[in-house]
Amino acid sequence: MKSIRKSEEATRAILATLLLLGIFSVSVYYGLTTPEDIPIEASKLIIVKPSEISIGNEVELTIKAISDEGLLDTKRDDLIKIYLEPNSHAQIGYSETSKIIWADSLSVRLEDSLTKIKFIDPDFERIRISVEWIEGKSQLNSVEVQLYVGYRV
């Protein structure tokens, strides 16, 4: 009788150990798989802006091509157009070598799904800045944000 109980206990202990080992193995496997295994497809453009923009100070805006989940699709090199609303005093600029070209609209190409532009405004105002997709792998939804120059947020 005792040997049967010991045998049953040993069998249960072995099964419990195997079950725990299986659970641990599965969690390690899924923990080691990276998001790179899942293809990321950008669907929209976003503008990353500073929370405060002072009058007359140059700031950097970043435009990114992201998926619906918010992940950067690093394989995009689309052509986009960035423009400010008419009648604003602000300007946007793109650095080519060491010289910045200032304008109220720019056409630029994304590099690894992002681009950085300069923004400056000599006046206290609220401005809309828009980014539209022109050409590339697949169409990206446009974005429009408001920038508050001189406002304290």
Residues 25 and 88 in one domain: no
Whole-number pLDDT of residue 83: 94
Q: What is the pLDDT of residues 37-75, one digit of tens each?
A: 678 889 999 999 998 899 999 999 999 999 999 999 888
- The total domain count for the chain is 2
Residues 83 and 29 in one domain: no
Whole-number pLDDT of residue 96: 66
Residues 14 and 88 in one domain: no
Q: How confident is the model at residue 94 (pLDDT cuts 50, 70, 90)?
A: confident
Instruction: Count Cβ neighbours within 10 Å for each residue of 106-145 and write b for 16 or more, e otherwise.
Output: bebebeebbbebbbbbeeebebebbbebeebeeebeebee
Query: Residue 129: phi, psi to the nearest 5?
Result: -120, 135
Number of H helices, E strands in the chain: 1, 9
Residue 38 lies in a domain: no
Residues 22 and 92 in one domain: no
Residues 123 and 84: their CA atoms lie apart, in Å, by 14
pTM of the model: 0.71
Q: What is the pLDDT of residues 126-139, one digit of tens each?
A: 999 999 999 998 99
Residues 15 and 78 in one domain: no
Owning domain of residue 12:
2-33
Q: What is the pLDDT of residues 98-145, one digit of tens each?
A: 688 889 999 999 999 999 999 999 999 999 999 999 999 899 999 999
Residue 39 lies in a domain: no
